[in-house]
Amino acid sequence: MLPPASFLQFTPDLRICRLLSGLWQVSGGHGRIEPEAAVAEMVAYHDAGFTTWDLADHYGPAEDFIGEFRRRLVARSGPEALAEMQAFTKWVPSPGPMTRQVAERAVDVSRRRMDMETLDLLQFHWWEYRDLRYLDALEQLAELRAAGKIRHLGLTNFDTKRLAIMVQRGLPIVSNQVQYSLVDRRPEVKMAPFCQQHGITLLTYGTLCGGLLSEKSLGQPEPGRWELGTASAQKYKQMIDAWGGWALFQQLLAALKRVADRRGVSIANVAVRAILDAPAVAGVIAGARLGVSEHIADNARTFTFALDAEDRAAIDAVTRQGRDLMRVIGDCGDEYRG
């Protein structure tokens, strides 16, 4: 099992594992997923201490996997076992009228698929800021929270300006999920300081750049698009290009490798630890390729060491050479809005 420091009191009623297992990779573009093998591996992750899952309504069968996993836990250990796991889903609606009926229907579908009376955390995403009906949707979700269908309300890929509007309106936002890695440090500029000021936490994804922040990339020639095996790797290779390119990325990998060797861990462990230590970050989401490959033992090593000032200085000496992605892309989530 994981040490106590690997868990965080995310809210007064939810204690989470700080390394969340992400289910984006069952949505397609990451290889075939066999449902029985996937759910069996979810049990293995849970038994190892990785008790918190991140998913979405549009991640293929992800919500259905959670439902089956929950039923399997109950069959094995009784209903009380469900208190040991958390499942954070998302609602990503198409633009349109955001009535109570529309919001409630979406929430009820997730509740049914996940076999949950109350959703632990519903993370809301909206594609077009100029369409202010996202505020209507959040008002409806806040009412559904008060009605007991949602325990907590979070966001996915909103920028600091829009988050400030929500706070001003008194919406009960507890978290925002954003891209954050040693390559993409945009959250440090505006988002993290704002969240610290207002008691909101960050859940981060892309922290391992789709698996590229690992030993398998160190010393390797720059891959072409079709050499990248997953949709994640293709996406984050574009982010690496925007930040500074493959040559600078190799310098970062080499610096991380020196730190990792000194600590007896992996490059991925160091990359995750650096973001976990950042202000306002509650947890890092690491993709789980269920039934394809597993990283339980390596992920656990994230909680066996600490980074010191020398480690951080060695990493920063490389990352500061990259482009300012706030200037190149904009604030958190702007990469999804042109």
Mean pLDDT by 10 residues, the chain (338 residues): 94 98 71 76 92 93 95 96 97 95 98 98 96 97 98 98 98 98 98 98 96 96 86 92 98 98 97 98 86 74 97 98 97 90
pLDDT at 64: 94
Predicted pLDDT of residue 31? 53
Q: Which of 296, 232, 235 is nearest to 21 (CA)?
A: 296
Residue 236's pLDDT is what?
Answer: 95
334: exposed, middle or buried (Cβ count in 10 Å: 0-12, 13-18, 19+): middle
Residue 30: what pLDDT? 46
The pLDDT of residue 87 is 98
- pLDDT of the residue at 25: 73
pLDDT at position 5, please?
94
Domains of the chain: 7-336 (3.20.20.100)
Running DSSP on this structure, what letter comes out for residue 128? -
Cα angle 29, 88, 18 (rounded to 5 degrees) comes to 95
Instruction: Please answer whether residues 185 and 325 qualify as being in contact, where contact means their C-beta atoms are separated by less than 8 angstroms.
Output: yes
pLDDT at position 290 is: 61
Residue 123, strand partner residues: 90, 154
**Encoded tokens for 68:** 């089956």
Cα-based torsion angle of the residue sequence 215, 221, 226, 232 in order, rounded to the nearest 10 degrees: 30
